[in-house]
Amino acid sequence: MTSICASLDEALAVVTDGCTLAVPRETAGVAMAATHALIRRGIKDLNLVAVPTSSLQADLLVGAGCVATLEAAGISLGEYGSAPRFRAAVLAGEIHLKDSTCPAIHAALQAAEKGVPFMPLRGLIGSDLIAQRPDWRRIDNPFGDADPIVLLPALRPDVALFHAPLADRFGNVWIGRERDLMTMAHAARASIVTVEALWDGNLLEDDLRAPATLPGALYVEAVAVAAQGAWPLGLPGHYRADPAALRDYARLAATPAGFAHYLDRYGHERHAA
């Protein structure tokens, strides 16, 4: 049964040092309130997987010393510039970066989702990524001559962490159009979800919401309410990102001292949006 938790710390208990944590791209429902809670706890040595990219969330976790390994197709603050703490950590050799592509991360998650050991993917051939990823294997297609293919090992995160608009009291989670979240939850051993609100009904019995609902009993370990839990990022269809807060982060995080100041200002309690 899914636990409906009274606090973020209770919901996040399953996220432990050294676990593989999958997080979504910045427009898919990022659990920022939960991210700050993990930083406050002092989580360490995460193997962070961005599905397939990340921005503020990854930069915060890296800057706070929470990440040992990062697998992503890209880390950037977008229009606000590069991800400064991520960039600094890579240049200093403080984290191990597993460079990837969007299709590769999705394919590896789909392998775990389907319960198979690997997934084939052709589009990597011709890039220099294969040489940087000893865990990827290039083989000849057993059904054709001179037809190479790359095999990607299944990617099975210990925890998928994301923010969604709505859950019900049975632990079912409505994710709307963000199908990447469904793949993440199917692939992961457990999913922790923060939501804007709880609904008294059963989402799986609602004809309109059921097709975009993640069944709690099968895929969700814990749910916690965190109003505006994606802030300062946005939650599509509910609220927009906060440009002023993101610009403030980009400015402060450019230096270690500024980053520490940002954590002091925003990390202990969510800034009123």
Alpha-carbon span 1 to 24, nearest angstrom? 24
Look at residue 268 in the predicted model and tell me its pLDDT.
64
Residue 129 contacts residue 74 (beta carbons within 8 Å): no
Which residue from 186, 189, 190, 107 is spatially nearest to 154, judged by alpha carbons?
A: 107
Kindly report the average pLDDT of the chain as a whole number: 94
29 pLDDT exceeds 90? yes
pLDDT band of 265, cuts 50, 70, 90: confident
The residues with which 163 forms a beta bridge, in sequence order, are: 194
Alpha-carbon span 230 to 46, nearest angstrom? 20
Which residue from 96, 64, 62 is spatially nearest to 82, judged by alpha carbons?
A: 62
Domain boundaries, the chain: 3-100+156-243
In degrees rounded to 5, what are phi and psi of residue 93?
70, 25
Q: Mean pLDDT across the stretch 128-154?
A: 91
Alpha-carbon span 174 to 121, nearest angstrom? 30
Q: What separation in angstroms does the CA of 224 have from each of 3, 56, 122, 168?
A: 9, 21, 40, 11
3-state secondary structure of 195: strand
Is the backbone peptide bond immediately before 52 cis, with ω within 30 degrees of 0?
Answer: yes
Question: Among the listed ranges 106-110, 141-145, 237-241, 266-270, which one has the minimum average pLDDT value?
Answer: 266-270
272 pLDDT exceeds 70? no
CATH class of the domain at 3-100+156-243:
alpha beta
3-state secondary structure of 38: helix
Is 0.85 surpassed by the pTM of this model?
yes
31 pLDDT exceeds 60? yes
pLDDT digits (tens, 9 = 90+) for 177-232: 999 999 999 999 999 999 999 999 999 999 999 999 999 999 999 999 999 999 99
Residue 231 contacts residue 33 (beta carbons within 8 Å): yes
